[in-house]
Amino acid sequence: MPIKVQSELPAKKVLENENIFIMDEKRALSQDIRPLKIAVLNLMPLKEDTEVQLMRSLSNTPLQIDLTFLTTASYVGKNTATSHLDTFYLTFEDVKNQKFDGLIITGAPVELMEFEEVAYWDELKEIMTWADQNVTSTLHICWGAQAGLYFHYGIPKLNLEKKLSGIYEHRVMNRKIPLVRGFDDIFKIPHSRYTESDNDAIKKNSELIVLAESEEAGIFLCMSEDGRRVFVMGHPEYDRVTLDKEYRRDVDKGINPEIPKNYYSDNDPEKEPVLSWRGHANTLYTNWVNYYVYQVTPYEL
Protein backbone atom coordinates (compact mmCIF):
# COMPACT_ATOMS: atom_id res chain seq x y z
CA MET A 1 0.00 0.00 0.00
CA PRO A 2 1.55 3.31 -0.97
CA ILE A 3 1.24 5.55 2.09
CA LYS A 4 1.28 9.27 1.42
CA VAL A 5 3.18 11.27 4.02
CA GLN A 6 5.23 14.45 4.19
CA SER A 7 8.61 13.97 2.56
CA GLU A 8 10.56 14.97 5.69
CA LEU A 9 8.78 12.64 8.13
CA PRO A 10 11.56 10.58 9.83
CA ALA A 11 9.39 7.43 9.80
CA LYS A 12 9.42 7.57 5.99
CA LYS A 13 13.16 6.85 5.83
CA VAL A 14 12.91 4.07 8.42
CA LEU A 15 10.24 2.25 6.41
CA GLU A 16 11.93 2.82 3.07
CA ASN A 17 14.98 1.06 4.53
CA GLU A 18 12.64 -1.90 5.20
CA ASN A 19 11.61 -1.84 1.52
CA ILE A 20 8.09 -0.63 2.40
CA PHE A 21 6.56 1.57 -0.28
CA ILE A 22 6.07 5.08 1.12
CA MET A 23 4.94 7.82 -1.26
CA ASP A 24 5.67 11.50 -0.78
CA GLU A 25 3.25 14.28 -1.67
CA LYS A 26 4.76 15.05 -5.09
CA ARG A 27 4.43 11.51 -6.42
CA ALA A 28 0.94 11.10 -4.96
CA LEU A 29 -0.29 14.08 -6.93
CA SER A 30 0.64 12.32 -10.19
CA GLN A 31 -1.79 9.43 -9.53
CA ASP A 32 -5.35 9.94 -10.75
CA ILE A 33 -7.10 8.20 -7.83
CA ARG A 34 -8.65 9.29 -4.58
CA PRO A 35 -6.51 8.11 -1.64
CA LEU A 36 -8.20 6.96 1.53
CA LYS A 37 -7.99 9.69 4.16
CA ILE A 38 -7.05 8.16 7.50
CA ALA A 39 -6.33 10.19 10.62
CA VAL A 40 -4.21 8.87 13.49
CA LEU A 41 -4.82 10.36 16.93
CA ASN A 42 -1.43 9.46 18.40
CA LEU A 43 -1.66 9.43 22.20
CA MET A 44 1.48 7.37 22.77
CA PRO A 45 4.45 9.12 24.44
CA LEU A 46 7.05 7.98 21.87
CA LYS A 47 5.14 9.24 18.87
CA GLU A 48 7.81 8.55 16.26
CA ASP A 49 7.98 4.87 17.24
CA THR A 50 4.20 4.60 16.95
CA GLU A 51 4.24 6.31 13.55
CA VAL A 52 6.62 3.67 12.20
CA GLN A 53 4.65 0.79 13.72
CA LEU A 54 1.28 1.93 12.37
CA MET A 55 2.60 2.84 8.93
CA ARG A 56 4.24 -0.58 8.70
CA SER A 57 0.94 -2.23 9.63
CA LEU A 58 -0.99 -0.19 7.04
CA SER A 59 1.39 -0.98 4.20
CA ASN A 60 -0.04 -4.24 2.90
CA THR A 61 -2.81 -3.44 0.41
CA PRO A 62 -2.60 -1.78 -3.03
CA LEU A 63 -4.72 1.17 -1.86
CA GLN A 64 -3.22 4.61 -1.47
CA ILE A 65 -3.57 6.10 2.01
CA ASP A 66 -3.20 9.75 2.94
CA LEU A 67 -2.24 9.83 6.62
CA THR A 68 -2.94 12.77 8.90
CA PHE A 69 -1.33 12.65 12.35
CA LEU A 70 -3.25 14.32 15.18
CA THR A 71 -2.23 15.25 18.71
CA THR A 72 -4.21 16.69 21.58
CA ALA A 73 -4.30 20.43 22.15
CA SER A 74 -5.34 20.10 25.81
CA TYR A 75 -2.17 18.16 26.71
CA VAL A 76 1.29 18.21 25.12
CA GLY A 77 3.58 15.34 26.08
CA LYS A 78 7.26 15.76 26.89
CA ASN A 79 8.66 12.73 25.06
CA THR A 80 8.36 14.05 21.49
CA ALA A 81 10.16 17.16 20.27
CA THR A 82 7.95 20.21 19.85
CA SER A 83 9.51 20.76 16.42
CA HIS A 84 8.29 17.30 15.32
CA LEU A 85 4.76 17.98 16.54
CA ASP A 86 4.68 21.43 14.94
CA THR A 87 5.88 20.05 11.59
CA PHE A 88 3.96 16.78 11.24
CA TYR A 89 0.91 17.00 13.52
CA LEU A 90 -2.42 18.79 13.54
CA THR A 91 -5.00 19.14 16.31
CA PHE A 92 -8.70 18.37 16.25
CA GLU A 93 -9.43 22.05 15.78
CA ASP A 94 -7.55 21.91 12.46
CA VAL A 95 -9.62 19.01 11.05
CA LYS A 96 -13.03 19.14 12.75
CA ASN A 97 -14.68 20.51 9.59
CA GLN A 98 -13.30 17.65 7.48
CA LYS A 99 -14.47 14.08 6.90
CA PHE A 100 -12.20 11.03 6.96
CA ASP A 101 -12.48 7.48 5.68
CA GLY A 102 -10.84 6.09 8.80
CA LEU A 103 -9.57 7.11 12.22
CA ILE A 104 -7.12 5.30 14.50
CA ILE A 105 -7.06 6.17 18.21
CA THR A 106 -3.92 4.76 19.82
CA GLY A 107 -3.22 3.59 23.33
CA ALA A 108 -1.90 5.91 26.03
CA PRO A 109 0.09 5.49 29.28
CA VAL A 110 -2.80 6.71 31.48
CA GLU A 111 -4.70 3.49 32.08
CA LEU A 112 -4.41 3.53 35.89
CA MET A 113 -6.14 6.92 35.97
CA GLU A 114 -9.90 7.27 35.90
CA PHE A 115 -11.02 8.40 32.45
CA GLU A 116 -12.35 11.68 33.81
CA GLU A 117 -8.95 12.42 35.39
CA VAL A 118 -7.08 12.30 32.07
CA ALA A 119 -6.08 15.82 31.00
CA TYR A 120 -7.46 15.43 27.47
CA TRP A 121 -10.58 13.39 28.30
CA ASP A 122 -13.03 16.14 27.30
CA GLU A 123 -11.16 16.65 24.02
CA LEU A 124 -11.16 12.90 23.33
CA LYS A 125 -14.91 12.69 23.99
CA GLU A 126 -15.44 15.49 21.48
CA ILE A 127 -13.31 13.66 18.91
CA MET A 128 -15.16 10.36 19.40
CA THR A 129 -18.52 12.13 19.08
CA TRP A 130 -17.33 13.88 15.90
CA ALA A 131 -16.04 10.58 14.48
CA ASP A 132 -19.51 9.01 14.59
CA GLN A 133 -20.71 11.56 12.04
CA ASN A 134 -17.54 12.27 10.06
CA VAL A 135 -15.52 9.02 9.90
CA THR A 136 -16.50 5.79 8.13
CA SER A 137 -14.80 3.50 10.68
CA THR A 138 -12.74 4.12 13.82
CA LEU A 139 -10.12 1.67 15.10
CA HIS A 140 -9.41 1.97 18.84
CA ILE A 141 -6.20 0.44 20.26
CA CYS A 142 -5.51 -0.69 23.87
CA TRP A 143 -6.33 2.25 26.20
CA GLY A 144 -8.01 3.89 23.22
CA ALA A 145 -10.25 0.80 23.03
CA GLN A 146 -10.99 0.97 26.75
CA ALA A 147 -11.84 4.66 26.40
CA GLY A 148 -14.10 4.03 23.42
CA LEU A 149 -15.96 1.19 25.12
CA TYR A 150 -16.48 3.34 28.22
CA PHE A 151 -17.62 6.42 26.30
CA HIS A 152 -19.91 4.71 23.79
CA TYR A 153 -21.26 1.81 25.86
CA GLY A 154 -20.56 2.65 29.51
CA ILE A 155 -18.27 -0.39 29.89
CA PRO A 156 -15.80 0.19 32.75
CA LYS A 157 -12.15 -0.77 32.89
CA LEU A 158 -10.86 -2.94 35.72
CA ASN A 159 -7.42 -3.01 37.33
CA LEU A 160 -5.45 -6.22 36.89
CA GLU A 161 -3.57 -7.83 39.79
CA LYS A 162 -0.32 -7.33 37.89
CA LYS A 163 0.79 -5.99 34.54
CA LEU A 164 -0.18 -8.10 31.54
CA SER A 165 2.94 -8.13 29.37
CA GLY A 166 3.96 -10.59 26.69
CA ILE A 167 2.75 -12.53 23.67
CA TYR A 168 -0.55 -14.36 24.19
CA GLU A 169 -2.52 -16.89 22.18
CA HIS A 170 -6.03 -15.96 21.02
CA ARG A 171 -8.84 -17.92 19.43
CA VAL A 172 -11.08 -16.61 16.64
CA MET A 173 -14.69 -16.55 17.88
CA ASN A 174 -16.67 -15.59 14.77
CA ARG A 175 -14.97 -16.54 11.52
CA LYS A 176 -17.79 -15.24 9.29
CA ILE A 177 -16.95 -11.61 10.14
CA PRO A 178 -14.61 -10.08 7.49
CA LEU A 179 -12.38 -8.43 10.12
CA VAL A 180 -10.87 -11.83 10.99
CA ARG A 181 -10.90 -13.23 7.46
CA GLY A 182 -7.65 -15.13 6.81
CA PHE A 183 -6.88 -15.65 10.51
CA ASP A 184 -5.75 -19.01 11.85
CA ASP A 185 -7.86 -20.60 14.59
CA ILE A 186 -5.14 -19.67 17.10
CA PHE A 187 -2.95 -16.59 16.71
CA LYS A 188 -0.56 -14.55 18.85
CA ILE A 189 -0.66 -10.84 19.72
CA PRO A 190 1.36 -8.65 22.16
CA HIS A 191 -0.29 -7.13 25.23
CA SER A 192 1.13 -4.51 27.58
CA ARG A 193 -1.31 -3.12 30.14
CA TYR A 194 -2.36 -2.87 33.77
CA THR A 195 -6.11 -2.80 33.14
CA GLU A 196 -8.79 -4.41 30.99
CA SER A 197 -12.30 -3.55 29.92
CA ASP A 198 -14.99 -5.53 31.74
CA ASN A 199 -15.15 -8.68 29.58
CA ASP A 200 -18.52 -9.78 30.95
CA ALA A 201 -20.03 -6.39 30.16
CA ILE A 202 -18.73 -6.61 26.58
CA LYS A 203 -20.24 -10.07 26.07
CA LYS A 204 -23.60 -8.98 27.50
CA ASN A 205 -23.83 -5.94 25.24
CA SER A 206 -26.04 -6.80 22.28
CA GLU A 207 -24.49 -4.01 20.17
CA LEU A 208 -21.01 -5.58 20.26
CA ILE A 209 -19.59 -8.67 18.54
CA VAL A 210 -16.63 -10.48 20.13
CA LEU A 211 -14.24 -11.71 17.44
CA ALA A 212 -11.21 -13.01 19.33
CA GLU A 213 -10.44 -13.95 22.91
CA SER A 214 -7.56 -15.31 25.00
CA GLU A 215 -7.80 -17.52 28.10
CA GLU A 216 -5.00 -15.48 29.70
CA ALA A 217 -5.44 -12.00 28.21
CA GLY A 218 -9.23 -11.83 27.87
CA ILE A 219 -11.09 -10.32 24.92
CA PHE A 220 -8.72 -9.06 22.26
CA LEU A 221 -11.03 -7.94 19.47
CA CYS A 222 -14.63 -6.75 19.32
CA MET A 223 -16.63 -4.38 17.17
CA SER A 224 -20.00 -2.71 16.76
CA GLU A 225 -22.46 -4.59 14.56
CA ASP A 226 -22.08 -2.07 11.72
CA GLY A 227 -18.25 -2.12 11.85
CA ARG A 228 -18.00 1.62 12.44
CA ARG A 229 -16.28 1.08 15.79
CA VAL A 230 -13.52 -1.52 16.15
CA PHE A 231 -11.85 -2.19 19.51
CA VAL A 232 -8.40 -3.83 19.71
CA MET A 233 -7.32 -4.58 23.29
CA GLY A 234 -3.68 -5.43 22.59
CA HIS A 235 -0.88 -3.99 20.50
CA PRO A 236 -0.70 -5.88 17.18
CA GLU A 237 1.31 -2.98 15.72
CA TYR A 238 4.23 -3.47 18.15
CA ASP A 239 7.53 -4.29 16.51
CA ARG A 240 9.99 -6.96 17.63
CA VAL A 241 11.71 -4.90 20.35
CA THR A 242 8.89 -2.73 21.77
CA LEU A 243 8.16 -4.99 24.75
CA ASP A 244 11.91 -5.35 25.30
CA LYS A 245 12.28 -1.57 25.54
CA GLU A 246 9.37 -1.37 27.97
CA TYR A 247 10.80 -4.19 30.10
CA ARG A 248 14.26 -2.61 30.31
CA ARG A 249 12.74 0.81 31.04
CA ASP A 250 10.88 -0.67 34.00
CA VAL A 251 14.00 -2.49 35.18
CA ASP A 252 15.93 0.81 35.10
CA LYS A 253 13.14 2.44 37.13
CA GLY A 254 13.51 -0.23 39.82
CA ILE A 255 9.98 -1.56 39.25
CA ASN A 256 11.29 -5.15 39.13
CA PRO A 257 8.92 -6.22 36.33
CA GLU A 258 8.17 -9.77 35.34
CA ILE A 259 9.77 -10.96 32.11
CA PRO A 260 7.27 -10.53 29.22
CA LYS A 261 5.58 -13.88 28.71
CA ASN A 262 6.30 -16.04 25.64
CA TYR A 263 8.56 -13.32 24.24
CA TYR A 264 12.29 -14.02 24.55
CA SER A 265 13.94 -17.18 23.25
CA ASP A 266 14.15 -19.62 26.19
CA ASN A 267 12.56 -16.88 28.34
CA ASP A 268 15.99 -15.25 28.51
CA PRO A 269 16.02 -11.41 28.28
CA GLU A 270 19.57 -11.56 26.96
CA LYS A 271 18.34 -13.37 23.85
CA GLU A 272 16.54 -11.82 20.88
CA PRO A 273 12.75 -11.61 21.14
CA VAL A 274 10.83 -13.95 18.84
CA LEU A 275 8.62 -12.14 16.27
CA SER A 276 5.51 -14.32 16.11
CA TRP A 277 2.58 -11.95 15.48
CA ARG A 278 3.42 -9.82 12.43
CA GLY A 279 1.39 -11.85 9.90
CA HIS A 280 -1.87 -11.64 11.83
CA ALA A 281 -1.25 -8.00 12.74
CA ASN A 282 -0.89 -7.14 9.06
CA THR A 283 -4.01 -9.14 8.21
CA LEU A 284 -6.03 -7.31 10.87
CA TYR A 285 -5.11 -3.85 9.61
CA THR A 286 -5.53 -4.88 5.98
CA ASN A 287 -8.99 -6.31 6.67
CA TRP A 288 -10.04 -3.15 8.52
CA VAL A 289 -8.86 -0.88 5.70
CA ASN A 290 -10.40 -3.05 2.98
CA TYR A 291 -13.73 -4.24 4.42
CA TYR A 292 -14.63 -1.46 6.86
CA VAL A 293 -13.12 1.60 5.20
CA TYR A 294 -12.52 1.18 1.45
CA GLN A 295 -15.52 -1.03 0.65
CA VAL A 296 -18.07 1.17 2.41
CA THR A 297 -16.76 4.73 2.34
CA PRO A 298 -18.31 7.14 -0.21
CA TYR A 299 -16.13 8.21 -3.12
CA GLU A 300 -16.89 11.85 -2.37
CA LEU A 301 -16.27 12.50 1.31
Residues recognised as catalytic: 142, 235, 237
Please work out, in degrees rounded to the nearest 5, the angle formed at the alpha carbon of residue 241 by the alpha carbons of 280 and 65: 50
- The closest alpha carbon to 69, from 23, 38, 36, belongs to 38
Kind of pairing between the strands at 186-197 and 157-172 = antiparallel
- The closest alpha carbon to 232, from 293, 143, 109, belongs to 143
- The closest alpha carbon to 280, from 238, 246, 241, belongs to 238
The rounded radius of gyration (Å) of the Cα atoms in the chain is 18
